[in-house]
Amino acid sequence: MSDEHSLSRRRLLKQGAAAAGAVAAGTKVAAYEESAAAQAPAISTARLFKAWISRGTGRNRTTLQDVRLRPISGRQVVVRTEATNLCYSNSALVLGLTDPPAAGGAAAANSLAAGTADMALIQGHGGVGIVEAVGPEVRRVQVGDRVCVSGTPQCGSCYHCLRGRADVCQLLGRNLPADFVPIAETRDGTPVYANSHIGGLAELMVTFEEWVVPIVSKAPAVDLGMVLACVSVAGLGATTSGTLARLQPGSTVAVVGCGPLGLSAVQGARIGGASTVIAIDPVRMRRDVALKVGATHVLDPNAERNIIEKVRSLSAGPTSRTWSGGRDSGGRRSGAGADLVVEAVGMELAVPKVERGPDPSAILPVQQAYEMASSGGDVITTGLIRGTIALPAFLFAIGGISHHGGQAGGTNPMRDIPRYVELLHSGRYDTKTMVTRAVPLKDMLGAYEEVIYRQAVTVIMTA
């Protein structure tokens, strides 16, 4: 290697370094970084915020506290909460009617909250709000964006996301105590964690970018909080996303269970052009709401002697005769039964102060949901239940029924959540009838009682 060569190489490197330095100082690269790569640096604001902290056991395990935000980094996103729904699935843990089981053992296997009794945890699993800060690796949103913090994450690169099942993204199950990172601390320095990497029952949600969906909307926070509530997303997902089953215009839909999830499925069935929407719930007030938001028929499971036959008779339609003009041979037949059944009951977490359903475990309604589907029909189950389901074996093959399970009714968050916002904008999703009341952060705990005792359809907390 000649001296000249090495000198020239050295010169070249030197020139290159100088050139790079010059460009970095100039406007060209700076502009590029601003437009494509720049994000706010990791922040350490030591910001104080109010949060409902659940810890320990018993009725008083959830208290409103001032906590201090910890520095964020990487893919973390801080969202100022505008609205969140008080989800029934969280209610017993928030109100302390159920204590989180210890880690390990049979009870733990049935609980997402196992091992969390001693953790200072912000309950909730989603909401809408404004991005306040982002970690340096965040690309999906920027400070100031309005977002839905989705109960269902979407990484966009795992096997499930790539095959169109973002509802079961690899990150969904990363929700055990060992997976949590502290996002804040209490006055005495106790680390504070966010349930499901989200929280919601606080002025801030600290999450990761995979849980955040940017939305473009000027709609009031309560309306957005309603249509993008975990339960509404699941009901709309089951009926409009097409991920699990496709609702065809003119078809017959039965919705078993009319909490906010089932009522959103009723709305989705109406939006999707179903000709008959049969809503089933023991609570009269909920059946009344179902009629207002799109049900063509409502049934009380406590009053029906045979609810499966009743649904079949309501959905028999023009194909109920074996031959045109001939006599019906009876029995189970094509067209008798709903083309799509959405089950949205879920097990009872407390004895309701309104009409009680026929089976607190909600196993029975799942069995009935399956049997009220038409041959060739689809059943989507969304309710959280525990136990074993027994079904007539002959239906499993020649019954021709397809069962689909999924998180969030198969919602693919980045694709579908903006669509749900448009359903709100166009007036096709009715939020006014769905929100029993909206409460400020400080009144959360009292309002949650109306949720667990099923006196409210939906309560939205604003912060």
- Per CB under 5 A, residues contacting Zn ion are 87, 89, 155, 158, 161, 169-170, 230
Q: Return the closest-CA partner of residue 280 out of 309, 305, 259, 249.
A: 259
Helix (H, G, I), strand (E, B) or coil at 453: coil
**Shortest distance in whole angstroms from residue 397 CB to Zn ion:** 33
**Shortest distance in whole angstroms from residue 231 CB to Zn ion:** 6
Question: Smaller CB distance to Zn ion: residue 147 or 155?
Answer: 155
**Shortest distance in whole angstroms from residue 113 CB to Zn ion:** 13
Distance between CA atoms of 167 and 153, rounded to whole angstroms? 7
Q: Report the first-to-last Cα separation within the chain, whole angstroms.
A: 70
Q: Tokens 């910890």 sit at which residue? A: 70
Strands 338-343 and 252-256: parallel
**Shortest distance in whole angstroms from residue 85 CB to Zn ion:** 7
What DSSP letter does each residue of 14-75 carry, written as one string?
Answer: HHHHHHHHHHHHSHHHHHHIIIII--PPP-----EEEEEEE-SSSTT-EEEEEEEEPP--TT
Question: Smaller CB distance to Zn ion: residue 151 or 377?
Answer: 151
Question: Smaller CB distance to Zn ion: residue 89 or 436?
Answer: 89
Distance between CA atoms of 307 and 12, rounded to whole angstroms? 83
Strands 76-85 and 127-134: antiparallel
Q: Tokens 């699990």 sit at which residue? A: 244
**Shortest distance in whole angstroms from residue 87 CB to Zn ion:** 3
Question: Smaller CB distance to Zn ion: residue 251 or 264?
Answer: 264
Question: Smaller CB distance to Zn ion: residue 90 or 267?
Answer: 90
**Shortest distance in whole angstroms from residue 340 CB to Zn ion:** 22
Question: Smaller CB distance to Zn ion: residue 245 or 261?
Answer: 261
Distance between CA atoms of 424 and 435, rounded to whole angstroms? 14
